[in-house]
Structure 1
């Protein structure tokens, strides 16, 4: 059966996952890349190092964000959101970094290793911490009874 996720089901999916994909578009070029994230208060919070993604988001803050939960080819859920990119500063930036660390660390299986720049303490000061203020979204699912 194919169907639409309710608003509550969309929120539950966003809260249960920690990797999503950001889609940005500038000057005829579309760029899609995975990021670690936290969902809270109708917003996606994430961080990234300087690079193509941040350059594009600064040039055009309109963003698309997508999250999946895939059990099999015939059992999955997917959410797509649209909103605006906003860089965070000072105390809010620090609070979001702490939230990301708390969300990401339980999902690492090697305590001594850090996923790239996601939670590496040596890189904290150079990271761009941001929010995607969600304006709209939708969700779909496929599920078949056995």
Structure 2
């Protein structure tokens, strides 16, 4: 059976996943890339280094975000959300974003010592000193979801 997710199911899927995809566009050419993210109930929080994705979103801040949960080809859920890219420049807010992302990603990382992959520092104080991370938010304005159950 195919169907639409209700608002509660959309929120649950956005909150339960850690990897989604951002779609952006530059001069009519689409670009989509996976990101690790944190959803705070209103916006997607992400991070990156300088690169194509950040350059495109700075030029055209209108983006689309997609996340899914696939059990198998006949059992899945997917959410698409539209929003606006906003770069975070305040150092205190960047530190809070880094800690929120680390806390969200940590349960999905390999067991062992505290990992600092994905460019996330072990300490918020390293931002701006040893790390040139760009933190951003996607302020969501519209969401849609679909599912299939067999």
TM-score (norm 2): 0.89
Distance 1:12 1:71 in 2: 16
Distance 1:26 1:34 in 2: 17
Residue of structure 1 in register with 2:117 after alignment: 115
Residue of structure 2 in register with 1:4 after alignment: 4
Structure 2 gap segments, 5+ residues each: none
Q: What RMSD over aligned residues (CA atoms) do the two structures have, in Å?
A: 1.5
- Superposed, 1:1-146 pairs within 5 Å as 1-88=1-88, 89-112=90-113, 113-117=115-119, 119-121=120-122, 124=127, 125-144=131-150
Distance 2:99 2:117 in 1: 15
Distance 2:20 2:134 in 1: 17
- After TM superposition, give the deviation of residue 94 of structure 1 in Å: 1.0
TM-score (norm 1): 0.92
Distance 1:140 1:27 in 2: 29
> Counterpart of 2:110 in 1: which secondary structure?
coil
